[in-house]
Every structure is written in structure tokens, then in C-alpha cells.
């Protein structure tokens, strides 16, 4: 360890992120225990996650399927995949921005790479996603639909989305640790994002010009690259391009920003 | 070679009261202009460490004394790498373990065995290392089947035994201790002392912050006396213990 040597922000940030990724076992273990211990004393354990998600999907399908006049056989799988994917994205944004604040006792005690705390939140929510995704094949089977081959493509989408969520969590974590007014702002943005993103409403219901809401909404593209292949649809080239571009630009900005403030984070806690 | 070198280390704590900690104010500051460049403007800064120079080598047993708030824990956190000082340089060669808060990461819902795993992993032990020490910890703590019970059901003494045993299972090159690890139970105390001594003997550099005169005199060969973040005295333990504890009592 050698502090005081002149290091640029990019160097500081990449060193921390690489060290965090190398030591992925610790955040994976912590994320695993986060889920495991939360449900330790309940019989069904983490499958309560699955059940509450399933109940929500069922209730919303009933109401919104009627409102939008959509056949349940199309609407339910759409809603199901959308809500599950959104649940993951929303949790990564709202919990992700609290990564440092909720790990303050560890940060002040152990010089772990700070990126580990972001990874912990990521692993925890990925595990929760895996519990929720079980619902989708059941819904597809119930409507006599097979498992679409394009689903494999959603894995590619998932990797791309993860890259995006990780930089978002890292960037907002730094901001939220410094400015304690940020977490409520972020949950507000996520809440609004839920309404502006085609999750409960199918995008084709939007009248002509309003489709800009979808095209200009980065979250719509991020959701699409994971959800659409699960439903047997190919995401559009625009979906892929936007998601990819946000990942590149986002990481570039985040690395410079994170590197500039990384060393101050412990003092802000 | 294990060594620690601090050169002109300064640590400032920015204090954000509720108005400074809000984004609104930063935006206002930017918007009104004129205040940019005055970095210290209206911002309360506490200088926790001021111009600390320190150099330690193999075999050094450094005690840190000083009143509450004199910078002992901050200094330990600088040495452990938690705080990156904004001014000055820190060079640490060797694997550092800091035991500042022994019960760190203890989860009441997790069993004793799971807590060994979690805490061990946080301290940087591999899965294999953890497996190796688990049996040894089980034997030392005499907790037996209790290791498979959630820590929630432990008495406070049992919890202490467990956290103590995990913390002392390591053999770091550089050990930082904030206050002595003590284990309540009379019958257990001698055993715990022996284990802690074993650990300390195997480390090359020990840094111990303590308020105990007897302990500092017994464990350390050098003492640093901090006052308001500055080094008041630095020297062999007999001299400093005499002036510090003589002066304060």
C-alpha cells in the first residue's frame, strides 16, 4: 500500500474496480447471505419473493388487461416479463445508490475495494431476479406457449443491462453518500420511470407521436433488450444501440467521476 | 521487510451539517457565483491528524495514547488504508489487519459457523483457510453444538468468545488494535490472553491504541502520545508512560 503517490482519477477508479471484480467471492457471499438471512425464519424463505411478485403480476394483469382491452394470453406474459425485469432494474437503482451508505460500518473498518459494495447489491438482486424469473415459464406454459429460443438472447441483453446498472449504481452511490437528499430524488425518478416505460402498458397502444416517450426513454431500451427476447421478440437495432451506447458513455463518465472522489468517500460516511 | 512510514500526514474531516449536506445548497452556491474558489468558505473542517511523521519497522510495538478525540482511531484507520489522507504520504509494506471493531459484521440471524465464514471472508481469508480455522475456533471457544445455532440465541459472553476467536485466528504481519480485546468470563480470560499474545508475538509490527497504562507498559516498546491530532511526545514506552499517565492522573 502506498498512499500519496500521484495517481490520476482513471487509475484510481480502475484499480478499485478491478480489485473489486477480482475479489468477487466476498460480495457474492455477502449478497447470498443478505437473501438467505432475510428469510431465515420463514418456512418458504426467499420464495416469498416469488410469491409476492406472482400475486402482483396476477392482480395487475386482471385490472390493466381489462382497461387496455388486451387478450390475457398476450398481456399476461408481457406484464410478467416486464415487471420481473423492472423489479431488478428498480432495485438496482434504489438500493444501488445506497451501496456505500448501507455498508458504512464495513467501509470505516476494512479497506475493501469500494466497488465490492456495489457488487454485493448486484449479486443480491440478481439472486432475487432468479427467484422471480421462475414465474415466467409457468405463465408461458399456462397459455400453451413454448419456451422461445430467443430467450437465450436475453442473456446477452442481461449482460448489457448489468453493465449499465453497475455504472449507475456506482455513480449514484458516490452522489448519495455526499448529498443525502439524493436517495429520495432517485426513488422518485425510478417511480416516474416505471410509468413512462412500457411495462404495464404495451407500447403499441401509444398514439403516433407519443411513441417518442418510448424512443427517448433510455429505460425503455434497457428493459426491451432483456424482456423482448423472453417473449420471443427481437429487440430493435435501436434498443441494442442505445443500451450499448449508454453503457460506454456511462462507464467513461463514471470512471473519471468515481476516480476523482473515491478517496473522499470514507470521510463522507 | 515490513515497515510503515508516514510523512507529514494531515487528515481533515469535513463536517456537513444538514444544510451543507443537501444538494440544494451546492446548486445555490454554484448559481450565486462568487463563492467558487473559496473552498473553506463556511465549511467546518476538523483537523483530526496534523503533520504526523512516523516510521515503524520489524519488531516495533507501538502504543498510541491520548485523550478521547485525540486522533488515535483516525491514525489507525489511516494505517489500515480506510482513510486516504489528503496531504502527506503513507507507505505500508506488509499485510495489515485492523481489529478496530471486533464484532464487525456479526449477524444475529446467522449461526456461529456462518458468522465465522462471513467475518473470515471479510478479513480476506479464502474458503479453505476458513474451513481450516473453523475447527480450531470451535475447540477454542468451547461452543460445541452452539456453533450451529443462530448467534441471536447466544449469551453476550458466548458472542464475545466467538468474535474474539475469529478475530484472533489471523496471523497478520501488521496488526492494528483499537483497545485490548477482552473476554469477560474469568475462567476463559487466561486462555484468551494466551491466544492474543500468541497472535501478537507472530506479528512483525503491532500498533495498539489504549487507555490502559499497565497494558501499554507491558506490550509496547515505543509510545506515541497524541494531543489534538498532533504528536505531543514520541519515544520509548517507559518515558512516555511516565509523562502521559503521570500528567493525566
Range of the domain at A101: 8-268
Q: Which of B87, B116, B121 to mutate to test the interface with A (most CBs of A within 10 A)?
A: B121
Pairing state of beta strands B222-227 and B87-93? unpaired
Contact A111 B114 (CB under 8 A): no
Residue A101: inside a domain: yes
Residue-wise pLDDT for B81-94, tens only, equals: 999 998 899 999 99
Contact residues, chain B, for A178 at CB < 8 Å: 21
Q: Would you say residue A253 lies in a domain?
A: yes
pTM score: 0.90
Q: Is A3 part of any domain? A: no
CB contact under 8 A, B16 and A268: yes
Let me know if residue A1 belongs to a domain: no
A77 closest CA partner among A157, A143, A126: A143
**Chain A residues close to B21, C-beta within 8 Å:** 178-181
Assess if residue A264 is contained within a domain.
yes
Q: Hey, are the CB atoms on A106 and B122 less than 8 Å from each other? A: yes
In a domain, A2, yes or no: no
Please tell me which of the candidates A105, A178, A267 has its beta carbon nearest to residue B13: A267
Of chain B, the end-to-end C-alpha distance in Å amounts to: 39
What local confidence, expressed as pLDDT, does residue B27 receive? 52
- Within 145-174 of B, beta carbons closer than 8 Å to A belong to 150
B43 touching A (Cβ < 8 Å): no
Residue B1's pLDDT band, with cuts at 50, 70 and 90, is confident
pLDDT in tens, A171-200: 999 999 999 999 999 999 999 999 999 999
Provide the β-strand partners of residue B49. Answer: B11
Could you report the per-residue pLDDT of B101-113, keeping only the tens digit for each?
Answer: 777 778 888 999 9
Substitution target from A41, A45, A179, A264 for chain B, most B beta carbons within 10 A: A179
State how many domains chain A has.
Answer: 1
As for the ipTM of the complex, it is: 0.84
Amino acid at each position: 500500500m502506498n498512499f500519496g503517490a500521484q495517481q490520476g482519477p482513471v487509475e484510481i477508479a480502475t484499480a478499485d474496480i478491478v480489485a473489486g471484480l477480482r475479489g468477487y467471492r466476498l460480495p457474492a457471499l455477502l449478497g447470498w447471505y443478505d437473501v438467505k438471512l432475510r428469510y431465515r425464519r420463514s418456512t418458504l424463505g426467499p420464495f416469498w419473493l416469488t410469491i409476492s411478485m406472482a400475486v402482483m403480476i396476477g392482480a395487475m394483469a386482471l385490472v390493466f388487461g381489462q382497461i387496455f382491452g388486451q387478450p390475457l394470453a398476450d398481456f399476461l406474459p408481457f406484464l410478467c416479463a416486464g415487471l420481473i425485469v423492472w423489479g431488478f432494474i428498480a432495485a438496482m437503482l434504489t438500493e444501488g445508490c445506497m451501496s456505500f451508505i448501507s455498508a458504512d460500518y464495513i467501509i470505516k473498518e476494512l479497506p475493501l475495494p469500494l466497488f465490492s459494495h456495489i457488487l454485493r447489491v448486484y449479486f443480491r438482486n440478481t439472486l432475487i431476479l432468479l427467484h422471480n424469473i421462475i414465474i415466467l415459464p409457468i405463465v408461458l406454459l399456462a397459455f400453451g406457449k413454448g419456451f422461445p429460443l430467443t430467450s437465450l438472447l436475453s442473456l446477452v441483453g442481461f449482460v448489457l443491462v448489468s453493465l449499465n446498472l453497475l455504472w449507475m449504481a456506482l455513480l449514484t452511490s458516490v452522489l448519495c453518500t455526499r448529498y443525502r437528499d439524493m436517495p429520495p430524488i432517485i426513488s422518485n425518478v425510478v417511480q416516474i420511470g416505471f410509468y413512462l416505460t412500457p411495462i404495464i402498458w404495451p407500447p403499441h397502444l401509444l398514439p403516433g407521436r407519443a411513441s417518442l416517450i418510448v424512443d427517448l426513454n433510455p429505460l425503455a431500451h434497457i428493459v426491451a433488450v432483456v424482456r423482448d427476447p423472453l417473449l420471443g421478440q427481437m429487440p430493435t437495432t435501436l434498443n441494442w444501440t442505445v443500451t450499448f451506447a449508454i453503457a460506454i458513455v456511462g462507464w467513461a463518465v463514471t470512471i473519471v467521476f468515481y476516480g476523482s472522489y473515491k478517496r473522499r468517500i470514507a470521510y463522507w460516511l | 521487510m515490513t515497515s510503515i512510514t508516514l510523512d507529514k500526514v494531515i487528515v481533515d474531516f469535513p463536517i456537513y451539517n444538514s444544510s451543507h449536506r443537501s444538494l440544494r445548497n451546492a446548486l445555490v452556491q454554484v448559481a450565486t457565483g462568487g463563492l467558487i474558489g473559496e473552498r473553506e468558505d463556511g465549511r467546518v473542517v476538523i483537523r483530526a491528524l496534523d503533520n504526523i511523521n512516523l516510521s515503524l519497522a520489524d519488531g516495533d510495538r507501538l502504543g498510541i495514547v491520548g485523550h478521547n478525540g485525540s486522533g488515535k482511531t483516525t491514525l489507525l484507520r489511516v494505517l489500515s488504508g480506510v482513510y486516504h489522507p489528503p496531504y502527506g504520504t503513507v507507505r505500508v509494506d506488509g499485510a495489515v489487519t485492523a481489529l478496530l471493531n471486533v464484532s464487525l459484521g456479526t449477524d444475529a440471524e446467522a449461526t456461529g459457523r456462518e458468522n465465522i465464514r462471513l467475518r473470515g471472508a471479510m478479513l480476506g481469508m479464502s474458503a479453505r483457510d476458513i474451513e481450516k480455522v473453523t475447527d480450531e475456533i470451535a475447540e477454542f471457544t468451547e461452543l460445541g453444538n452452539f456453533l450451529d445455532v443462530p448467534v441471536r440465541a447466544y449469551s453476550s459472553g458466548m458472542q464475545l468468545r466467538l468474535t474474539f476467536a475469529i478475530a484472533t485466528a489471523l496471523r497478520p504481519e501488521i496488526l492494528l488494535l483499537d483497545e485490548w480485546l477482552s473476554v469477560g468470563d474469568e475462567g476463559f480470560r487466561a486462555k484468551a490472553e494466551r491466544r492474543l499474545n500468541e497472535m501478537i508475538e507472530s506479528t512483525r509490527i503491532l500498533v495498539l491504541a489504549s487507555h490502559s497504562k499497565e497494558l501499554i507498559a507491558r506490550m509496547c516498546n515505543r509510545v506515541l502520545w497524541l494531543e489534538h491530532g498532533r504528536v505531543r511526545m514520541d519515544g520509548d514506552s517507559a518515558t512516555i508512560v511516565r509523562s502521559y499517565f503521570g500528567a493525566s492522573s
